[in-house]
With several copies, the nearest count.
Chain A
Amino acid sequence: MLEVRELECVRGDHRLFKGLNFTLQAGELLHLRGTNGAGKTSLLRTLCGLMLPADGDVLWRGESIRSLRDEYNRALTYLGHLNGIKGELSAIENLQISSSLSGINLSEERILRALDDMGLAGREDLPTKVLSQGQKRRVALARLLLSETTFWILDEPFTALDVHAVEYLKRLIADHLTADGMVILTTHQYVKIDAGIIKEVDLSA
């Protein structure tokens, strides 16, 4: 499905990586490793099409993602270092809007259930800016519960989460893989996921 060909990424004077090749199929998880500054975030953003690679290409079902933007985006969920939620809106509103922006109309119960699953019961109506760091991250992660995409790109999804939330997220990822989804993630924490095929790419090398 996803194929990365001879990818090269340059930031300023530094060439972060070069000649990177890998593929990812349905049901597979790619754990991207690397020291701080190795270029994990840059790679993920390139995979999303947010950054232009210096060289090489990213193919989705055999076609370059640059020529295929809408279709690719329909299959993709990206969670970056930033949460992508609006501080002035409540968790419910945030999720409602983010799903209707991708063209899905969700019932309020569905959203409430997702928030409940993420351990945010009782905080659904607060403007998210007053939430704690971990609670904000949970709101962002609730998008995964509500999306219908197959390909998740998660940049350090476990930061700021407490142990329960980490466990829950691991189960969620495992379920997604079992349902033939695809995941690429980075994390510095030790995390073990028991499902699908796990690949690793290390950028520090």
Chain B
Amino acid sequence: MGFKNSIIWMYFSSPRNFYPLAGKLIPWFAGLAAIFAIVGLYISFFVAPPVLSDQKEYYVIIFIHVAAAWMSMFIYVVMSVYAFIGLVWNIKMSEMMATALAPTGAMFTFLALWTGALWGRPSWGTYWVWDARLTSELILLFLYIGFMSLQSAIDDPRRAARASGLLAIVGVINIPIIYFSVRWWNTLHQGFSVTPTQTKQLVDPAIFWGMIIVALACWMYTIAVVLARVRTEILERERQTSWVQGLVGGQK
């Protein structure tokens, strides 16, 4: 089974084979994203308890904020794993995946910061404080930006992918810091509401499921967008190969 798996893995690690597969998968993930988004939004606006005593209505922002924050970290980890594979085993497809993930990761990071700041104003009384959680999340945004600028600053695509991949790997140290900062330091930002084991029931089940489903929607969205982006990336980087030229020529 491992053998068969590795054959499949090798087969799709070739851009030529991955390109059509990605094309086929995109609509499915886009569809899933839409369904989850609708369900998630329905839960968040209609099922979740409408008014919490102290958080008022604007706590609804939780659904976007938490999902975006989770995705921002998750995408970074995935990106650096791809970068690592690309760097060590010299697999082009993996490099391209890392490249394609970065803009979406940056977007979610920005979203997490933005929604957090907006939420902070009414609830904490300030948009921003330099506590460990907020600062490390900001650093994450800088890492994404650095990744993308380094890549765009280097002409040779392979060199660009390898250099920025290395940066991604070095920066991964930041992720546990973001995640555990609320436990390690006294932060203004609250601690974990949702723990992987859910031993302490801190969140109303409706809110909990709302967050999970919105996060799933974001996840599916990410996959769809990244696959689309990686397809253009493939065309860009493989443009001298005969199969891409055939493809492009055929479309004309």
Contact = CB atoms under 8 A, between A and B. Distances in A.
- The answer to whether A and B touch directly, with their CB atoms under 8 angstroms apart, is yes
Interface of A: 10-15, 52, 127, 130
Contacts of B155: 12, 127, 130
Going nearest first, the 9 A-B pairs with the smallest beta carbon separation are A13-B240, A127-B155, A12-B156, A13-B239, A130-B155, A52-B90, A15-B240, A14-B240, A130-B156
Interface in B193-247: 239-240
Contacts of B240: 10, 13-15
Contacts of B239: 13
B95 to A, nearest CB: 13
A10 B155 CA distance: 14
Contacts of A15: 240
Nearest to B90: A52
Nearest to A11: B156
Interface of B: 90, 155-156, 239-240
Give the interface SS of chain A, mostly helix, strand, loop or mixed: strand
B249 to A, nearest CB: 16
Contacts of B156: 11-12, 130
A15 B235 CA distance: 17
A17 to B, nearest CB: 14
Nearest to B155: A127
B139 to A, nearest CB: 31
A127 B239 CA distance: 18
Nearest to A129: B155
Contacts of A130: 155-156
Contacts of A14: 240
Nearest to A126: B155
A129 to B, nearest CB: 8
A12 B155 CA distance: 9
B88 to A, nearest CB: 12
Contacts of B90: 52
Q: Name the residue among A10, A12, A127, A130 with the largest chain B CB count within 10 angstroms.
A: A12
Nearest to A10: B240
Q: Name the residue among B90, B155, B156 with the largest chain A CB count within 10 angstroms.
A: B155
Nearest to A12: B156
A23 to B, nearest CB: 25
B18 to A, nearest CB: 18
A47 to B, nearest CB: 18
8 contacts: A10-B240, A11-B156, A12-B155, A12-B156, A13-B239, A13-B240, A127-B155, A130-B156
Contacts of A12: 155-156
Nearest to B162: A52
A10 B156 CA distance: 11
A130 to B, nearest CB: 7
A52 B239 CA distance: 20
Contacts of A11: 156
B85 to A, nearest CB: 16
A127 B90 CA distance: 26
Contacts of A13: 239-240
Contacts of A127: 155
Nearest to A88: B155
Nearest to B239: A13
B178 to A, nearest CB: 34
B23 to A, nearest CB: 24
A80 B155 CA distance: 22
A112 B109 CA distance: 47
B235 to A, nearest CB: 13
A71 B210 CA distance: 60
